Amino acid sequence: MKLRVGSRDSQLAVIQSEIVMAALREAHPEIELELVTMKTTGDRILDRTLEKIGGKGLFVKELDAALREGRVDLTVHSCKDLPMELPEDLPIAAFLRREDPRDALVLPLGASVWNRSRPTGSASPRRRLQLEGLFPDVEVRPVRGNVPTRLHKLDSGEFGALVLAAAGLKRLGLEERVCRYFEPEELLPAAGQGILAVQCRSDMDMSVLDCLRDQTAEACARAERAFVAELGGGCSSPLTAYAAVCGDTLTITGLYADKYAHVRKDTASGPAADGRALAVQLAKRLREDGACPEK
C-alpha cells in the first residue's frame, strides 16, 4: 500500500507533514509513503493581507484539488489555517496531539528589549485587537510570508517585534528566538493553533489514520472551530476561541468583536462530549450580549 501525502512547500509545512509520516511509519511499517509538495495561492501572494485576497481557503485550494484528482491521498495542515467550512467530500480525518498553543513575542537578533517605537508585525486581526488592548502604545502592522521570511524582515529592522505561533517556532527548532510567551488568559490563540489536521477523501478507509488521532485535540479543535464558524469568522474577523479539557470537562473561552467594535469575552464549561454544542451556545450568547440596535 502506498500513500501520497500532500503538503505546502514551506519548511514548516514539510516538517509538519514529516511528523505525520513518522507516526504512520511507526504504526504501519508496511505502508510506503511519498511526500508531494506544492505552492498554494496563499503562499504566492504576499503583498496583501489574506482578507483582501480571499481568505484562508487560498492555502488549501491546490491541495484540495490534488486530493480530489487522486494526485495525493492525504493532506496535512496547521488546523488554524483551515477554513471553517470544509467540503463534505474532504473531511478532517485526524487531529494530532496539540503542540504549544500559545502566541510568542520574537525580538530582532541580539535585542533584549522590545522596541515599541517600531511596529510589531502580525497579519492577524485577532492578534492586533488583543495586542492593542494589552499595549496601547504599540502599532501592529501586517506582515506576510513564511516564518523565515518574517524573521528576516524583523532582523533587518523593518519591525520592532513579531508575534508568531509558538508551535511553529518549536517545530522549526527556533524556540530560542522567543522573548516571551503570551498565556491564553492574556492573548487567546487562534482556533486550532498548535494542532495538525489531516484531510482525506470521504471514500477512503480512514482506519489507517487511527494512530494519528488524539481525542483531546479533536474535542478542542472541533469546539473552537464551531465557535468561530457560528459567528461567521475567518481570517478577516477579530474573533477566536480556545478550549482545554480536564477529565471529562471541556472549558472554552471565546472572543468576539462585532461590527460595532464591541469586544466580548466569556468562558463556558461542560461535558467534553458536548464541546461543539457548548461552543455554539457561547458564540450565540456573545453575539446577543454584544448586539447594538441599528440607529
Residues recognised as catalytic: 81
Pairing between β-strand 92-95 and β-strand 196-200 as defined by DSSP bridges: antiparallel
Burial of 192 (0-12, 13-18, 19+ CB in 10 A): buried
Residue 41 CB partners (closer than 8 Å, separation 6+): 53, 54, 58, 59, 61, 62
User: Any idea what DSSP says for residue 97?
Assistant: P
266 contacts 291 by C-beta, under 8 angstroms: no
191 contacts 241 by C-beta, under 8 angstroms: yes
Closest CA to 63 of 80, 79, 41, 95: 41
Look up residue 138 and give its amino acid. V
